[in-house]
Amino acid sequence: MLYQIAIVDDHPEIIDQLKNELAGCEAIQIIFTASNGEDYLKQMKALSPAARPQLAIMDIEMPVMNGIEAVRIGSSLYPEVQYVMYTVSATDDKLFDAIKAGADGYLLKDEAPGALVEAIKEVIDKSGAPMSPSIARKTLRMLAGGAKSKATTTQAESALSDREIEILKLMVTGLNYKQIADKLFLSPFTVRNHTSKIYSKLHITTKAQAVKLAVDNKWV
């Protein structure tokens, strides 16, 4: 069987390292490499469905568009493509966001040689969800605690301050940062700070997601 993949990372040396590592497996074919999420989506769009990779190895921290956003958009546009996040570290928030976005696996870059090849085969052949041991432990703790998996419940709403709820309500009406700031007699910088806290508490990354959660759960 031929495993067709894409590599997405903003560091050329990492891409070269992965090429060398994967070169030992003749069954793996690298369709293309990309320097960030936007570059990945652009190259995917240019390919016919038959020519697209089955799986993308995706870094998280990248300029222009990060890996989590690329997976979120890519999963919607190309649901047949699978994703293995490949990064230097993982906070609980990034792990949660990556899984929510549609990641099928999560490996750290310090994994032993061969781990990535096995992860590719596990995802494509067995629909598995390979993870580095430390990532698996984080996931189990996260699921056991339950807090992060309940980001769309009233419990998440209760974590927001009165000011954050007030800003969220204005976001739903379509106001931008400056308009919200003017209405609440705050600086745009202060509104941005509050918005960042809202995103963090709700485990989301965009205004559209915030508005959807607020409307779906009748918080506003």
The predicted pLDDT at position 13 comes to 96
Q: How many domains, in total, are found in the chain?
A: 2
Average pLDDT score over residue span 46-60 = 97
Residues spanned by the domain of 41: 3-145
Res 137 pLDDT > 80: no
Q: Do 86 and 183 belong to one domain? A: no
Helix residue ranges, H only, 53-176: 67-77, 92-101, 115-126, 133-145, 154-158, 162-172
Structural contact between residues 111 and 132, judged by C-beta atoms closer than 8 angstroms: yes
Same-domain pairing of 78 and 186: no
Its pTM stands at 0.65
* Residues 78 and 25 placed together within one structural domain of the fold: yes
Q: 173: domain CATH number?
A: 1.10.10.10
Flag whether pLDDT at 151 surpasses 50.
no
126 lies in the same domain as 57: yes
Q: What is residue 171's predicted lDDT score, i.e. its pLDDT?
A: 84
Same domain, 96 and 54: yes
Pair 125, 180 in one domain: no
Can you tell me the distance from the alpha carbon of 30 to that of 56, in angstroms, rounded to the nearest whole number?
Answer: 10
Whether residues 51 and 98 fall in one domain: yes
